[in-house]
Amino acid sequence: MAAEELTPTSYIKHHLTYNTVQVGGNESAFWTLHIDTLITSIILGIIGLGTIWLIVRKATPGVPSKRQAFVELTVEFIDNQVKNTFHGNRHTLVAPMALTIFVWVLLMNTMDIVPIDIAAEMNKHVFGLEYWKIVPTTDVNTTFALALSVWLLMIFFNMKVKGIGGWMHELFCTPFGKNPLMWPLNLLFNFIEYVSKPLSHSLRLFGNIYAGEIIFLLIGMWAATGIAGSFFSILLGAGWAIFHILIVTLQAFIFMMLTVVYISMAHESH
């Protein structure tokens, strides 16, 4: 941003550029690492889950402290959601996973509300980082990583609960019936379902947060047009940020709920 002239295109482009590291040695596109996405998300995960861990470590069954009560409220809210959807032993994996997802995704989404230009300036002048995207969920890699992990777990539980034969039976014989003539149609249907699940799961989160960030950028650009632009920019930026609190929470919750729903669907036969 410093050397080149500041135009709307360069402004947006600058904000959307990842800090990349080549890990494969050769210049292939796949062996690139978005180090900003990775480090920010890991720091956020450590902050979120670490804080909960520190509080929970001293959890007492007696009268809880305010912090413990807050964590308990969150956990019980999630646990109730899971209990209503998932009818197995949820404490071994599903409920803790839902908690992880909710806390982590919520924190990653919340980075969207941090004023983008202040964050960019801070990264540049305090940490010396020219490019550093602070919202990990605007990186499609993050959302796909989560959705595909959930997808793999879903397939794992399908095989574990129903057996490979049972799962194959389900792939070929539902939803249109056991008639061999229907097998191709059933398989196609299930194939579409299995492809669309991780796609919609990840792209919903990515799209919402990415769009939110773009709108923040547009509002930020308006501020460069003069006094009136700054005024409206402040007003709209505040409004959008407040509205974004809802989106951020809602998207984290939806992502968590879909995870629970997918995993519990894998446990139940049709």
Partner 1 sequence: MNINFTLISQALAFSIFIWFTVRYVWPPLLRAIEERQKTIADGLAAGERGKHDLELASQRSAEVLKETKQRGAEIIAQAEKRASEIIDNAKVAAKEEGDRILTGAKAEIEHEMFSARETLRQHAADLAVAGATKILRREVDARTHADLLADIEKDLK
User: What is the size of the binding site for partner 1 (CB under 8 A)?
Assistant: 47
Q: Least distance (Å) from partner 1 to the CB of residue 170?
A: 26
Closer Cβ to partner 1, 109 or 186, answer by number: 109
Binding positions for partner 1, 190-229, rule CB under 8 A: none
Strands 32-34 and 20-22, by their bridges, are: antiparallel
Q: Binding residue for partner 1 (CB under 8 A) from 3, 5, 27, 62? A: 62
The structure tokens 């490019």 sit at 131
Q: Least distance (Å) from partner 1 to the CB of residue 62?
A: 7
Closer Cβ to partner 1, 45 or 229, answer by number: 45
Q: Least distance (Å) from partner 1 to the CB of residue 59?
A: 4
Binding positions for partner 1, 115-174, rule CB under 8 A: 136, 139-142, 144-146, 148-149
Q: Which residues bind partner 1 (CB under 8 A)?
A: 23-24, 29-34, 37-38, 41-42, 45, 49, 52-53, 56-57, 59-62, 64, 68, 71-72, 75-76, 91-93, 95-97, 99-100, 104, 136, 139-142, 144-146, 148-149
